[in-house]
Chains A and B, each alone.
Chain A
Amino acid sequence: MKPLLLWSDGLIFLLVFSLIAFFLKLGRNLQTQKRWGQVFNTRLGMVTFTVIAVYVLVALLDSLHFRRALEPVAGAPAGEVFYDNRVTSVLDLMLGGMGDRYERTYSAPFALKSFEKQNMKDGSGVGYRDYPLLRHGGRHLETAADRASDIFWKSLWGIGMGLLVALIVVGLQWVFLRRSPYPWRASWLAQAIIIVLAVWLVSVSKYYHVLGTDRGGLDVAYQSIKGIRTGVLLGTLATLIMLPIAVTLGVMAGYFKGWVDDGVQYLYTTLSSIPGILLIAASVLMFQVYIDLNPDAFSVGLEKADARFLALCFILGVTSWSSLCRLIRAETLKLSQLGYVQAAHAFGVSHRRVLARHILPNVSHIILITFVLDFSSLVLAEAVLSYIGVGIDPSMSSWGNMINGGRAELSQEPVVWWTLSGAFFFMVVLVLAANLFADLVRDAFDPRTSLGATHS
């Protein structure tokens, strides 16, 4: 086994750690702590945060990549180990080979037979045409009539196991957190439901394709789960990558004013006046050419897809940075007029110190709010970009690619609805949770709501 760290893997871990550090540091600033406390003090806040956290956790697990070692060959010089060029992630292991149980082609959810007829021969060699049995789905059954009861018992077992796991997970938290002032109960309920669903899915998937299979025979539930990483990463990295530039320019413009301010304003007005979709399209095409011209920089196909993915994040960041930059500039302008900043100037404190001590910490909440607010729209944008043809690399699992591919399936008779539904479900849950959470954050940080008043 050889770990493989993609650029996006590194970035997402960096992001998560810095977020955790940020929250730990929150304790120092009473004002901010209180506002965040307000978000988590609601049951909705707890539940949506739990859902988002689960998605992020899945994305993190799916970001621990490695390549399997191949067995040594007799007669070959010892010592050198070769690796499979297929990249596996920890998540794949946890899903218990869900992605390895291929069918020949389409099959409906919980189906026993393929969705497509095939030429077959019976015992005496006479050819006929019928729906063949699946290779994996329901293979353990004796007769097709047993299916309903089998699904019931398998589900029951899965749910039982799920409850057991949930009990352990929630119980552990209860021990430590029962005195916490936050409504953890709501979160625990959400956790329990998600765990039960997940365990049920993984256990039943061993016997059936819960969401059917796609044209190439790959489990749709597996694909949808693999899409989580893409969605979460896109939603977060796009903001993260542009953050340093937007913050630096915004703070500089607001702090130094004068020609620096003019320059920065010019830059973001220019960029924001270009229709976003055209800018994205043009830039993605450009990165694609760079990747094509430098094939040696990427040893595995996934790295190529990853480079394109990061490029897309970067460009999405560029198109959305101007609003962040504008906000930070305005806030810095306001801050630099305040008495203590003026006083610091009077005492001859260096610019760098003023920026680091007084300005930056006070604009950080804007960054976080923007981060939360942009998240859902970025996830949604991915699907649209895939349709236009400038989205995620087609070789990466993503909901946008699934929707784009599933579009034509609606014209089939009968309809193949499960690919679209799978992507739809997993996407809506994430975006809904993110939207609801963002609402709470916005309410809590809205300068017009003073802290005491909201509880009335």
Chain B
Amino acid sequence: MLAQFISTAPRMTAAQTNQPRLARIVNRLCLAVLFYLLVACGDAPLNNPHPHHPEDAMVYQSFMQSIPKHLDPAQSWAVNEAIYISQIYEPPLGYHFLKRPFELIPTALESMPEISYLDADGNAVVEDDEALAFTRYTLRLRDDLLYQPHPAFALDKAGQPLYLFKTAQEGRRYRQIPDFPETGYRPVYANDYVYGIKRLADPVIASPMLGFMSQYIQGMTEFSAMLPGPPRKGWLNLDDFHMEGLEVLDDRTLTITLNGRYPQFPFWLAMHFFSPIAPEVDRFYHNPGFVDRNLTLDWWPVGSGPFMMVENNPNKEIVLERNPNYREDFFPEEGEPGDQEAGYLDDAGKRLPFLDRAVFTLEKQPLSYWTKFLQGYFDRSGETQGYPLGLFDQAFTVSPDGVSVDSELADRGLTMSPSVEPSVFYYGFNMLDPVLGGYTEERRKLRQALQIAFPTEEYLSIFYEGNGIVAQSPIPPGIPGHLQGKAGMNPYVYDWVDGEPKRKSLEIAKQLLVEAGYPNGRDARTGEPLKIFLDVQSQAVNNTRKRWIERVFSEVGVQVEFRPADFNRTREKMLTGNSQIYSAAWGADYPDPENFLFLLYGPESPLICKCDGANYSNYENEEYDALFRRMRVLPSGPERDALIDQMVQLYQRDAVWLYAFNPKRIFLNNPWVFNNKRHGISNATLKYTRIDGQQRDKLRTRWNEPTIWPLHVALILLIALIAPGVVAYRRRRSATARQGRV
């Protein structure tokens, strides 16, 4: 039918040329050719998402999957925020980068804190004295601590703060911290640490630490009550108020006094809640109008750590830069066995940090960040998550004895850092539930049967790509009290066969159900089928997982009903004891078994403490509670281990949790990134990271050879689309020329 059109063309008697149309066609062609040439002639990788500068050799490129909500060390309690906070602030203590088990080391302090014990009158006593009323920690700061350059420290000629405004109008032109032309810095004083702790107690800041820490730090509750609550206008100098338990002895020495004893307190000193905050920084951020431009401590942290924030665009990226004032800090000289071979000690004794800059780009789509990692544009496969869930066996092999990368990825020189995090994910039974709860022998057997019926190993292998290990007790590996091998095995669910735990057979589960009064999953008295209810968050359980769990329990004749709800509702149910089986997770705040065993401590039950307790199972066992109270104040040692062992046995016997596992994450590193050992608890590890920029450039170019033929095809297609029009146009022109003007 093309002919029909063409045959009409010569009859045309158009007088004027159709200039706009032609221009458009030419335009379009030119554009296409331009891009085509650009592609064909360019030598740098076309798909490089980063601006390419040769001087970027020491720029670490990473990504964030979510935007941090809080960067204020008093407010943040999320891993994705700690990644930045931990690089910028330096709390008094830290963890040794390489040594395992985890070891606390002084960072901002000259040495570990000195501990003294006092009675109610303030007289020194020995540790196990009956009269002991307070514990006092004395902290002595290093003498080379300096803050990062920041406008809050900038002074005018008279020595007065430069950027202190009376009205919002004065500071209008400063929209971001880099907009301030002048900066200054000063040493870190002991009072800054005191100021930081006082901020934890400020009701306006609403720190998540307030409720917890005020049990321990002397006078914190009273201090908090003394401060004017919200709404509050302007800056309140916390130095004007005194907290009983805090004292500044001189510029470099402070003491913290606790009520009673709390041996785990030094671990808290390694967390960012105890970071120094300079009062003038706090005052600076309370300049009128600053908060309206997001100029707050919550967005622009100011610290004395190895890095400082130079860009915070939560819509796009966060950029950290080396803090020029960072104290003398060196790569550790010793590690645990095997570190030497793994190359973790190659940089021993070198000055930290290695990196000049670290760029974290916002990237939410798994396909995108995984692709960019494989193309070499992200240095590591993740900061908090190892790699997108969804990449599995073909890429690497996770087996009980370790992990190996598949040949294609291994050829690229990728290295791996597996990390078993001291955290536990679990589904727990509510012990107050009329059907599943209770402490009778039948109920125990019922719960044990369900435990056996749920094949955690399969679950991990299918839904977590094998990245987790079955937790036999609440205490994850890497934490004292965690037992391996046969000694740690839960004998109610597993048998020890051929040197490894083997889940008991479904026959035994069925037998236990019979003994519990539910033969074949049916109530022996009424015939009613046993139905268990899982209270889960809506997002957490998709169709696939739901069907899988239903199928698993149907093998023993038990019906499953999901009660998905949003986060707040499920949480409410757990707090009011209305759940039956709930899901929860707990990550270590510090490497001590107390931080996990308290999940089963009776008074921690939300119904008993009338607070947000973490014992969602409402497990109440007097024997366990007594053991816990003794264990809590004991120093590490065989005596404590024996108590812990007894508590774990009680947990196993009472079958409190349906299943539990410790996630194992595998972080992949591109070959030019070094010192990738994962810490598990501390996030302040960016200063140890080193990259080889030249190798990176070389490999990136090699890995990103573009495929050109689609462009040829596109060009041909474009011509094919335009050609008929051009032909028609030319025919008409020639027709016009023949016939002349009418």
Contacts and interface: CB of A to CB of B under 8 A. Distances in A.
A218 B527 contact: no
Interface residues of B, number: 53
Interface string B493-516: 000001000000000000000000
A412 B519 CA distance: 43
A299 B394 CA distance: 42
Contacts of B389: 408
B462 A104 contact: yes
A226 to B, nearest CB: 10
B24 to A, nearest CB: 29
Interface string A88-128: 00000000000000101100000000011111000001000
B393 A117 contact: yes
A301 interface: yes
Given A80-B527, A104-B458, A125-B498, A395 B559 contact: no
A334 interface: no
A292 B569 CA distance: 7
A215 interface: yes
Contacts of A129: 397, 399
Contact of A401 (B542, B565, B566): B542
B544 A73 contact: no
A216 B548 contact: yes
B551 interface: yes
B461 interface: yes
A414 B394 contact: yes
A411 B388 contact: yes
B538 A288 contact: yes
Given A76-B526, A82-B528, A215-B462, A411 B547 contact: no
Contacts of A414: 394
Most buried by B among A86, A102, A119: A119
Contacts of B542: 394-395, 401, 405
A217 interface: yes
A116 B392 contact: yes
Interface in B327-379: 365-367, 370-371
B634 interface: no
Interface in A46-105: 70, 72-73, 75-77, 80, 82, 84-86, 102, 104-105
B550 interface: yes
B642 to A, nearest CB: 35
Interface size class of A (residues with CB under 8 A): 35 or more
Contacts of B544: 214-216, 218, 405
Contact of B559 (A85, A394, A396): A85
A408 B543 contact: no
A366 B559 CA distance: 48
Interface in B377-401: 388-395, 397, 399-400
Contact of B543 (A70, A104, A304, A397): A397
A292 B572 CA distance: 11
Contacts of A218: 544, 547
A413 interface: yes
A216 B547 contact: yes
Q: Classify the interface of chain A: helix, strand, loop or mixed.
A: loop
B640 to A, nearest CB: 36
Interface in B630-664: none
A432 interface: no
A274 interface: no
B564 interface: yes
B526 A85 contact: no
Most buried by B among A84, A105, A396: A105
Contacts of B68: none
Q: Classify the interface of chain B: helix, strand, loop or mixed.
A: mixed
A412 B366 CA distance: 10
Given A216-B548, A288-B566, A105 B462 contact: yes
A221 to B, nearest CB: 15
Interface string B514-551: 00000110111111110100000011011111111011
A412 B394 contact: yes
B174 interface: no
A410 interface: yes
Contacts of B524: 73, 75-76
B561 A301 contact: yes
A285 to B, nearest CB: 8
Nearest to A80: B527
B367 A217 contact: no
Contact of B550 (A70, A86, A105): A86
Given A292-B565, A412-B394, A73 B400 contact: no
A408 B527 contact: no
Contacts of B548: 216-217
A295 interface: yes
Contacts of B463: 215
A401 B391 CA distance: 19
Given A117-B393, A215-B463, A215-B544, A77 B561 contact: no
Nearest to B390: A408
A150 interface: no
Interface in A380-437: 389, 394-397, 401, 405, 407-414
A285 B370 CA distance: 31
A318 to B, nearest CB: 22
A408 B498 contact: no
B562 interface: yes
**Across the A-B interface, the 6 shortest Cβ-Cβ residue pairs:** A76-B527, A216-B544, A73-B527, A408-B390, A292-B565, A411-B370
20 contacts: A73-B522, A73-B524, A82-B528, A85-B561, A104-B458, A105-B461, A116-B392, A118-B461, A125-B498, A218-B544, A288-B566, A289-B566, A293-B569, A394-B543, A395-B546, A396-B543, A407-B366, A408-B366, A411-B388, A412-B391
Interface of A: 70, 72-73, 75-77, 80, 82, 84-86, 102, 104-105, 115-119, 125, 129, 214-218, 288-289, 292-293, 295, 300-301, 304, 389, 394-397, 401, 405, 407-414
Interface of B: 365-367, 370-371, 388-395, 397, 399-400, 408, 458, 461-463, 498, 519-520, 522-529, 531, 538-539, 541-548, 550-551, 559, 561-566, 569
